[in-house]
Structure formats: C-alpha cells, structure tokens
Amino acid sequence: MGQVFGTDGVRGTVGSQPMTVEFAVRLASAAGRVLAPNGGSVAVGKDTRISGYMFEAALEAGFVAVGMDVKLLQVMPTPGIAYLTRVLGADLGVVISASHNRYDDNGIKFFDRHGSKLDDQDEQQIENLLKEAPVTLESSRLGRAERRYDAVDRYVSFCKQSTVEKLDLSGMRLVVDGANGATYKIAPRVFSALGADVVTIACSPNGKNINDGCGSTSPHILQSTVKALGADLGIAFDGDGDRVLMVDHSGEVVDGDQLLYAIALSRIKAGQLHGPVVGTVMSNLGLEKAFADLGIDFQRAAVGDRNVLTALRESGGILGGEASGHIMCLDRTTTGDGIVAAIQVLEAVRNARVPLAELVSGMTRYPQRLVNVRVEQEFDLQESVIVSQALAAAERALGAEGRVVLRESGTEPVIRVMVEGENDHVVTEYAEQLAAAVREAAAASV
C-alpha cells in the first residue's frame, strides 16, 4: 500500500487512496490492534466536511469490530479531541479533518492516551498492519459506540480556564471567523462566556464551505469586518481549530510569529517563561531578533507541529509555534490549540493595557515571500544544478540579513520556496527567480 502517514496523519482527496471508506475501516482495525490490543476505548471527532460523517461511520465500524468502545464527540476542534481523549480516559483519539484544506480533501490523525501525536514507531506499526485485512471479532467481544453530548461543555470549560487568573473581556468587541469549520459553535461561546461582545462570520457550515474564502488562510473578510464595526480585534481559525491568526483594530493581520511574540512577552514579564521558545525554519527573522533583544533563547525546528513539540520536550520549553498560527502553550495544554492560544493573547493585551497592534510593535517583520510550486512527482532538489545556481545567487544577494528555505510540503504535492530579507524588492525578485528554477527542474524530471 506504500507509506500513508505524512507529517500530520493521513490526508488526501476524498474518493482517492487513501481517503476511501475501505481504507478508513482498515486503518481503524490496524490502529486499534496496535494501540489497544486488549480492547479499550477511542474518542472520535470531526470537522464540518460533508465526508466526515462517512469516515466517522467507517472508523466506528473498524474500531468496534476489534473490540474497542467508541466515544463519538461529533464536531469538535482537533485540540478539543486531544483534551477529551485524556479526560475521558480513552486509549486513543482520532480526528477526521484535513485542517486548512478545501472540503474535497479529508484526513485522519491520531492522539495517544495523553493527548499527544503518535510517535514514528507507533505509526510504523500501524502501517505494517495495513497490509492485512480488517479483523472482526466474535459478537461477545465486539465494542460499543456512544455519542457524547457533554463533549462541547467540557471543552468550553477547559478553554475558559486556560489562564492563571479569570480573564474578563468585558467591554471588548471581537469578530470571530470560524472558517465554517470545527470552531464555529465553540469559539464564539468561549469568548462570550469571558465577557466579550462577539460578532461571528463564517460560522455557518454547510459541509462544503469550510476554509472557502474565510478563516486563517483567507482573512480578508475578517479584516474588512473589524474595520467596519470598529472592533477591538478579529480572530480567525482554520478548519479544525488548531491554528489562529488575528486582525488588529486597524485591519492589519497579526500572524503566528507575532502572536507567539505577544505570548512570550507576557510570560517573561510574569516570570512564567521556561526554556527556549521554539519556532521553525519558516519563522520570521524579525521574531528571532526580537527575542534576542529580550534575552529569550530562540530555537528553530523543522516545519510541523510534531517537530516543534519534540524540540520543546527535549529543551524543556513551554512555548512554540509557526507563522501559520499553530501555537503551542504546553503550560496550558498538550498540543496546538487555536482557542487557547487566542485566550493567551487576549490576556496579554488586557494585562499590558494596550491595543494588540502596540503589543506586537516590538517585533519588526522582515519582508518574506513564500511561493508554492506544484510538482507532478518527487525529485531531488539537492541534485538539481538549476536550483543550486539560483539558490547560490539568492543567498549572495541577500547576504547575512536574509534567508532562503526550500522544502517539500508534507501535506500537498508542492515545493515551498521562502525568501526573506531586509529589502522587499530583492526578496520578491529572488523568490520568483528561485521558484522559476524549481519549476524548470521539476518539468525536466518528469
């Protein structure tokens, strides 16, 4: 069957391998046998994609058939499933979501009983069993399935309590963009319960409009709404709720690097920051320099929340994240959580008694250009003379105050070309030249 696990579980176009009903049953059977060989329970949740109901039923069948009890959490953000896996005492958690992708994609990812992503060894064991047919035990050994109608209340309470002192957002007007995804009910309820005046957009999912011109990947409607309403700020989530971006009162986007800076600044002032802050190779150079000015140790990991989490655990850090808005506050929860991260930023704003724009003004973002080059098949970037020459030219032009990153996406068939430096014109010019070189090399490899 080939390797099916990517950087964040299994993902693909619905109806094509691996995202078929047959595969979902096979995956549940394999995962159940690896992670709960003597039976046990599994918490299963999904985002709002129309295919989520189909995959939920298939996974339920596969797990019940190997003797596992299934707790159906229904529509729930990814970090909510991680949390509920722990508090419900489940042996594993399963998320049906393709995160920030369009509705015609879907995915399946796992948490262990502690609410953490599976390690490589567990994933490899599951991969090995995928070659076998699904197992069905005799009737007396089958599991049961139940819908947990208390899941939303439990997760809302957890989010509200994710600050050291009770956060009071009275007098603050927030615009919440739910990406027509998993946070569409929960996020507005959390912020309203904390006292904010909440206006919602993209909180009317129909199964096909998730991430469609809305959410953290497309915040333009949020920007205009915040300005039109004179709101204090806007909050945008992605389809499964593990990422968050914000918009300040003037309509400017505040990305994950800036939000990470705001939380770290608040933590260090309160004496609560431990260990280094961890970003990725894609984190803005301005973030690194701002942390240096504050005396905060900053480390870079490979792209992906699993890599950030690994680096935090190895270094004893509690705070890390990505520019995309995937932010981890390990002193509050076990994984990236968009709602929890947003609450930490709102607490920082309240404590500093300044608008969000002023709070993040200590970080100057370097011009950065990201170009995604779609490729038909994999090829070795390092072996391409065309790419090597273009890379050398870009690095010479940027000098010590710039960076170039070339990497293969773990979730899409694209090569990501990132160029960063002091001069926006130079950054744009060399990003386009390097992207053109990658396209040429990719075409030559077909």
**Residue-wise pLDDT tens digits, 22-80:** 999 999 999 999 999 999 999 999 999 999 999 999 999 999 999 999 999 999 999 99
Contact indicator for 210, 103 with CB cutoff of 8 Å:
yes
Residue pLDDT, tens place only, 340-378: 999 999 999 999 999 999 999 999 999 999 999 988 877
Fold of 368-445: TATA-Binding Protein (3.30.310)
**282 — phi, psi (to 5°)?**
-95, -5
Contact indicator for 34, 63 with CB cutoff of 8 Å:
no
Q: Read off the DSSP letter of residue 39.
A: B
Superfamily assignment of 10-149 in CATH?
Answer: Alpha-D-Glucose-1,6-Bisphosphate, subunit A, domain 3 (3.40.120.10)
Residue pLDDT, tens place only, 112-122: 999 998 988 99
Task: Please give the Cα distance from 308 to 302 (Å, whole number).
Answer: 7
Q: Report cis status (omega within 30 of 0) of the bond before 37.
A: no
Q: Do the domains 10-149 and 155-359 sit in the same CATH topology, yes or no?
A: yes
**pLDDT surpassing 70 at residue 416:** yes
- Bridge partners of 234, per DSSP, are 175, 247
Residue pLDDT, tens place only, 231-273: 999 999 999 999 999 999 999 999 999 999 999 999 999 999 9
Fold of 155-359: Alpha-D-Glucose-1,6-Bisphosphate; Chain A, domain 3 (3.40.120)
**Catalytic site positions:** 99
What value, to the nearest 5°, has the Cα angle with vertex 85 and ends 135 and 338? 125
For residue 196, give the amino acid letter: A
Query: Tokens standing for 17?
Result: 């391998």
pTM over 0.85: yes
Q: Could you please report the per-residue DSSP string of 143-192? A: --EEE-TTHHHHHHHHHHT-SSS----TT-EEEEE-TTSTTTTHHHHHHH
Annotated domain spans of the chain:
10-149, 155-359, 368-445
Query: Tokens standing for 202?
Result: 């993209």
**176 — phi, psi (to 5°)?**
-110, 120
Q: What residue has token string 């779609």?
A: 374
